[in-house]
A and B are shown apart, each in its own frame.
Chain A
Amino acid sequence: MIAIEHLSKRFKTAAGKDHLALSDINLELKSGEFVSIIGPSGCGKSTLLYMIGGFIPASEGRILIDGKPVAGPGPDRGPVFQEFALFAWKTVLQNIAYGLRLQGKSKAEAEARARVLLKMVGLERFANFYPKELSGGMKQRVAIARTLAYDPQTLLMDEPFGALDAHTRTHLQRDLLQIWEEHRKTVLFVTHSVEEAVYLSDRVIVMAAGPGRIDRIIPIELDRPRQRSELMFDRRYQEYITQIEGMIDAFETEAA
């Protein structure tokens, strides 16, 4: 379980002024929950994710994971970035085996496990390719497999499908849901797409900017496993989307 208590983040601007990026965030994530964060640009949603990852320190407040405060990055929380962040000098297989090798597994053991994951993301034919030889969607599949390889309890996904075309995006959303149904990891998913958030999540956190804060948390009470083709005709699904779209529109008019 992840508990976020009175979390704030201040930055120094170039002019030397204090900028409050996040103000008094309070949130609890249950184990195995799929939660999306959505909000206008500048609301600090990625910053929040990076603080949970332990990549940047909090200014005030704390983050507890199973009761222990976060002090830095760790293999219990696996990030997936929009930019893929794959190691260009390693092959697909070596990328996926990376975390396992760090944990002291033998090369053979790590690669055997990497092959299982590669099969799971449907790229077994590309084991010996370099990342630059793959399309954007394939790169993100590799990145997800690399993170799943060291078996984190939580996945921290920072607009993971934001750089992909619509078609690839739909495929990856479906596959991600399938993997999640199977492994039931806690997922924190930052996105710009309301539709994506509603389709994937148990709860959608709507954030507002200036300073970044949680405006509302909306439970998505749709049955699982979800089929996108069925949801399209589900009135509740459409209502969720319209409701959240409306809230974000209102923030943006307010800001402008």
Chain B
Amino acid sequence: MTRHIPSICAGVALLLLWEIAHRSFGLSGLPGPVSAFRALPELLSDGDALYDIAQSLQRMAAGYLLAAVFGISFGLLMGTSPLAERLLNPLIMMIYPIPKAALMPILMIWLGIGDASKILVIFLGSSLPIIYHAWQGGRSVSQIVVWSAAAMGMGPVQRLFRIVLPAALPEIFIGLRTGLILALITMVVSEIVARSNGIGNLLFNSMDMALYDRMFAAIIIIAAMGYVLDLIFEAIRTRFLRWSDSGEHIQVAVG
């Protein structure tokens, strides 16, 4: 508990800073934290707003899970096959700096402003770091361990699931985390660009309608999403990596 004290103090300091900025600027566009938090229950009891948030989370989950499955398989393929690596590395490097959320307007024209385009853009936005880290993780698996597993009679599929995947897991989780943050950001941006529903839509609509308390409440909700997802992710990661630690002991025995 004591190790959280500095963070709590920092949080309080930020809220104070916000309040001070509110009072000193005197802008209608910058309400104080008190009125923003007061708008929160009102927003959350509003059925439409809840629907918006649920829609956002649903699309984000779909896009992110697709990206995770695709990214891990693709990355491990690159990490274990030198041919795949040489073939795909330049492509990945070229795609890397493309702002994926910027593809939203084109995807909208192709697929409409519904779920399909948004899920696709979230998928595109979050898959690259997952591919990259799974690739690095797969590469770092000691060739000697893989060889000795092969010598013991493990087939390629078994080797992939029992040796390569657990050994690459810590690195894969780094990618999954970056991917998660990007999925959240892409989700918000996609909804701002294609405004039909979702939390991003709520955020910018509130700004356009000059409902500033509501806008800041939406910011708080998005921030909270960031924190909650981060917490859930940490919990899952600790669970899995504990398992991967025992996996590493097995590896030592194999090597």
Q: Do chains A and B touch in the complex (CB under 8 A)?
A: no
Instruction: Identify the A interface with B (CB < 8 A).
Output: none
